[in-house]
């Protein structure tokens, strides 16, 4: 009989505790579910990696005869994209870095007033290429200036055109000979970046006379009866070239003297 009363008392006590603590149990379960839900929501809403990248590099400098130059600071490095244009300058060691760049295709331009400007196109930043490292060499502008340029009739060989060039050059830098580069094109806007044919010439005489063969022009797309336009630039002892961004093929000379001759023309026989 005592055992029955003890069992009945225990059941009553358990029932009472269950009723008393049920709200707390329900609340705890609800809080656990809420925390689990919040945790899942936080995981689902984690931001995707930023679609940005970086380009860094090193620029070296050489003088007009190809010797290293210690001063590599202050070169402006500009990155041009479809919706972004940012710039920085090189440090004393020639290093640079551009960060937080939106993914896309860029052209990079290196420039300092005493040096030839060079460009590099089709640099791509994307998920596979978040960082790019570049190197570039800039050359001192040629000191040789073309002071006169004229066409002189027939050359010494048949089917050739003679021309005469006079320059102002530094004999201490060029004690033996100096150089100039002649460009030929189909329009009066012929230049070192807009041409069909070019030739580098060295001479130890000033002024000097040279000639070119008509056959060389016919091979490069000119036709008999075409008007041919010519212009001349002073050339450095060591040219620095880069691929033409417009077509990626022609090699443009970056460190010619920036002052061109007058443009001359003749009709190709």
Percentage of residues in the chain with pLDDT exceeding 70? Answer: 81
Domain shared by 227 and 160, yes or no:
yes
**What is the full DSSP assignment across 160-198?**
EEEEEEEEE--TTT-SS-EEEEEEEESSTT-BTTB-SEE
Domain shared by 87 and 176, yes or no:
no
CATH of the domain at 201: 2.60.40
Count of structural domains within the chain? 2
Domain shared by 152 and 263, yes or no:
yes
Report the pLDDT value the prediction gives residue 48, as an integer from 0 to 100: 58
- pTM here is 0.79
| Among 139, 171, 193, residue at a domain's last position | 139
CATH of the domain at 59: 2.60.40.10
Beta bridge partners, 131, equal 54
Domain shared by 150 and 262, yes or no:
yes
Burial class (CB in 10 A: 0-12, 13-18, 19+), 183: buried
Domain shared by 153 and 204, yes or no:
yes
Is residue 43 in a domain?
no
Q: CA nearest 180: which of 202, 196, 195?
A: 202
pLDDT tens-digit series, residues 99-157: 999 999 999 999 999 999 999 999 999 999 999 999 999 999 999 999 999 998 666 77
Q: Provide φ and ψ at 128, rounded to 5°.
A: -80, -25
40 contacts: CB under 8 Å, gap ≥ 6: none
Question: d(Cα 96, Cα 78) in Å, to the nearest integer?
Answer: 11
Segments forming the whole domain that contains residue 78: 52-139
Q: Provide φ and ψ at 16, rounded to 5°.
A: -65, -45
Question: d(Cα 3, Cα 62) in Å, to the nearest integer?
Answer: 107
| Spans of the chain, pLDDT less than 70 | 1-49, 153-155
Domain shared by 155 and 225, yes or no:
yes
DSSP 8-state class, residue 225: T
Is residue 247 in a domain?
yes
Domain shared by 158 and 254, yes or no:
yes
pLDDT tens-digit series, residues 139-155: 999 999 999 999 986 66
């Amino acid at each position: 009989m005592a055992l029955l009363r003890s069992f009945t008392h225990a059941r009553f006590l358990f029932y009472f505790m269950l009723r008393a603590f049920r709200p707390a149990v329900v609340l705890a379960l609800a809080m656990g579910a809420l925390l689990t839900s919040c945790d899942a929501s936080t995981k689902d809403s984690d931001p995707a990696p930023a679609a940005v990248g970086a380009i860094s590099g090193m620029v070296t400098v050489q003088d007009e005869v190809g010797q290293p130059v210690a001063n590599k600071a202050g070169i402006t490095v500009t990155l041009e994209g479809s919706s972004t244009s940012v710039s920085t300058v090189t440090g004393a060691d020639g290093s640079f870095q551009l960060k937080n760049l939106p993914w896309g295709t860029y052209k990079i331009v290196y420039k300092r007033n005493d040096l030839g400007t060079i460009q590099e196109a089709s640099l791509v930043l994307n998920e596979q290429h978040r960082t790019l490292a570049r190197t570039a060499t800039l050359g001192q502008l040629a000191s040789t200036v073309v002071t006169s340029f004229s066409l002189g009739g027939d050359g010494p060989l048949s089917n050739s055109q003679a021309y005469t060039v006079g320059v102002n050059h530094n004999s201490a830098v060029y004690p033996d000979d100096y150089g100039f580069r002649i460009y030929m094109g189909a329009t009066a806007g012929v230049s070192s970046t807009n041409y069909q044919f070019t030739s580098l010439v060295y001479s130890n005489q000033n002024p000097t006379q040279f000639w070119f063969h008509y056959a060389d022009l016919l091979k490069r797309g000119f036709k008999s009866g075409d008007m041919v336009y010519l212009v001349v630039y002073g050339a450095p002892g060591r040219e620095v070239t880069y691929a033409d961004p417009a077509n990626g093929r022609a090699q443009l000379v970056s460190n010619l003297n920036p002052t061109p001759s007058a443009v001359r023309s003749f009709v190709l026989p």
